[in-house]
A = this chain, B = another copy of it.
């Protein structure tokens, strides 16, 4: 009697399909204009049905966040399996985050939304909130692991506490990606007129800046320069102008 299982599967599939459509809508019109009637129409279900699959609008957006965090995690975890030094892994994790933000702005928007609405009752009643938190913690653990690897292989200064260092790298890289994203996508954000910033260049400078602080002495002497120069990650630059820098 696999009927209940089949139904469960079908329900999950439909949920995914609705999320897909909502995602497209965000990409087209922006998260601010996301409208449940429209989502229902696009997904070819009635409004009532839509609310059978998602508790409320916040739940739906969190569903998208969950997809985003799962995707991020897959990318991040993969880095650990590559043949890289710990320091290079840390770099690659950052680049992945950057790539993700520029290739999936709708996911990035959704995650920024989440940051603002985490504390509402609606968010707290969503199953997705916990799943997102889990994914975030898992991603963070990968970062810690990369740092530990770096401390063992001698590429990262082992006088730090790995957890503390991971939090700082997490926090600062989020800040950098966020600022770069804002500069690119938000009309009224420019910190400095005529200063074009592309995400990739900015991230490289960032890695160079903190590289000094996290590298081991031996690593600094051997290839500190190459650290910020040799890598050419497959991140496409999204910026149009770049007068400065």
Q: Which residues of A contact B (CB under 8 A)?
A: 30, 32, 112-113, 115-120, 123-124, 129-130, 132-133, 136-137, 140-141, 144, 161, 163-168, 170-176, 178-180, 182, 185-193, 195, 197, 202, 205-206, 208-214, 244-245
Contact = CB atoms under 8 A, between A and B. Distances in A.
The quantity of this chain's copies bound in the complex is 2
A129 B189 CA distance: 10
Contacts of A175: 171-176, 178
Contacts of A244: 163
A161 B144 CA distance: 31
A229 to B, nearest CB: 15
A168 B202 contact: yes
A186 B113 contact: no
A209 B174 contact: no
Contacts of A179: 167, 170-171, 174
